[in-house]
Amino acid sequence: MVKTGKLILEDGTEMLGKVFGYEGSIAGEVVFNTAMTGYPESLTDPSYAGQILIATYPLIGNYGVPNKDSKNSMLTHYESDKIQINGFIVSDYSHEYSHWNAEKSLDQWMIDNKIPGLYDIDTRALTKIIREKGAMLGKIIIDNQDVPLFDPNKENIVNKVSINEKQVYGNGKYRIMLIDCGVKNNIIRHFLKRDTTIIRVPWDYDFSEEEYDGLFISNGPGDPKRCDITIKNLALAFENSEPIFGICLGNQLMSLASGADTYKLKYGHRSHNQPVLEVNTNRAYITSQNHGFAVDNNSLSDEWNPLFINLNDDTNEGFQHKSKPFFSTQFHPEASSGPTDTEFLFDKFLDMIKVSKQENE
């Protein structure tokens, strides 16, 4: 007999489901993602740390989870070394999986990582609640073992997902200082494909004395304003001329460092189909996104211009410095999971580095 579990939202909503994965109660911020593929990637994306994820696509687990091959000391098929979400809510869990590259079932993988999940939940009804009332806290209760609510935005969760000490990847021509606020493996993979050496440092690392050709600020979970040290370090970096590129949380941190403001979106953007328009052009891109906070376009200082905006709700999707080679995107050009249309931004960053290096030489 399959065990029954309960999802409780902070507004009092309760939904019964069937348990899969680890059998233990957990709390977190409840958010939804409308992607139709990519659960192994999403679940290991550190930006989801502290969250209970709802998959709006109902059939989950179809292709199991991939093997643990690794390259450059990173797992090839995952975005980090472990499941980052706190819990997983789906409609129709596929008990049988089939894929040439599958090593085990999603269920088993979640058990291994001690992550609980519920299936047989009306995920559409649940999503509509969050759409109407905004992202909210919630908990998965199994075997009636209650746990307190937990708000990942109230603490510095970046500290938990960032590495503890500096790590270097690759041996390429261009040295990139990568501030890890919860970086996805695919960002590093994209850089390594482009003749770089990656110096991955903790979120609060003081890199002002370090030599690098370009600075990168990664994605990550939670409220950007909690990363005060990173913001301060960035503000200093803005005084130099080495190119800077930020993604997702990186976009928000750069905005805060530039004096702009961020705010919490009602329910965030978490999907593979977010349309963005490059400002003042007719070029639009489909992007992969995963964020709950956004940059306030109106708060950008005179030195900065919006670079991309969201075609659905006009929110900020990136901005750039008017004269210096600094830019950032709210979306994920590295994809994984999601569409790969904006990968060229990595090339753009590398081109900036090449130009800046030439100028310096």
DSSP 232-269: HHHHHHTTS-S-EEEETHHHHHHHHHTT--EEEEEEEE
Beta bridge partners of residue 102, listed in sequence order = 66
Is-contact 310 276, C-beta < 8 A?
yes
Interface with another protein, residue 40, by CB under 8 A: yes
What is the C-alpha to C-alpha distance for residues 89 and 39, in angstroms, rounded to an integer? 12
Report the site for another protein in 141-180 (rule: CB under 8 A). Answer: none
Interface with another protein, residue 271, by CB under 8 A: yes
Name the minimum Å distance from CB 166 to another protein.
Answer: 30
Residue 34 tokens read as 């409308």
* Interface stretch with another protein, choices 21-29, 90-98, 149-157, 219-227 (CB under 8 A): 90-98
Interface with another protein, residue 240, by CB under 8 A: no
Interface with another protein, residue 358, by CB under 8 A: no
Helix (H, G, I), strand (E, B) or coil at 273: strand
Is 248 among the residues known to form the active site?
yes
HSE-CB at 291 with a 13 A cutoff on CA atoms is 33
Residue of 181, 248, 253, 335 marked active site: 248
What is the C-alpha to C-alpha distance for residues 77 and 70, in angstroms, rounded to an integer? 8
Interface with another protein, residue 277, by CB under 8 A: yes
Interface with another protein, residue 289, by CB under 8 A: no
What is the C-alpha to C-alpha distance for residues 214 and 98, in angstroms, rounded to an integer? 42
* Interface stretch with another protein, choices 133-141, 160-168, 195-203, 269-277 (CB under 8 A): 269-277
Interface with another protein, residue 338, by CB under 8 A: yes
Between 96 and 359, CB nearer to another protein: 96
In the block, residue with structure tokens 């690794």: 70
Interface with another protein, residue 6, by CB under 8 A: no
Q: Which of 94, 113, 167, 241 binds another protein (CB under 8 A)?
A: 94
Interface with another protein, residue 298, by CB under 8 A: no
In the block, residue with structure tokens 């004269």: 323
What is the C-alpha to C-alpha distance for residues 332 and 340, in angstroms, rounded to an integer? 9
Residues labelled catalytic: 248
Residues in contact with another protein by CB under 8 A are 15, 32, 34-38, 40-41, 56-59, 62-63, 66, 77, 91-92, 94, 96-101, 120, 122-125, 127-128, 131, 271-275, 277, 282-286, 311-313, 335-341
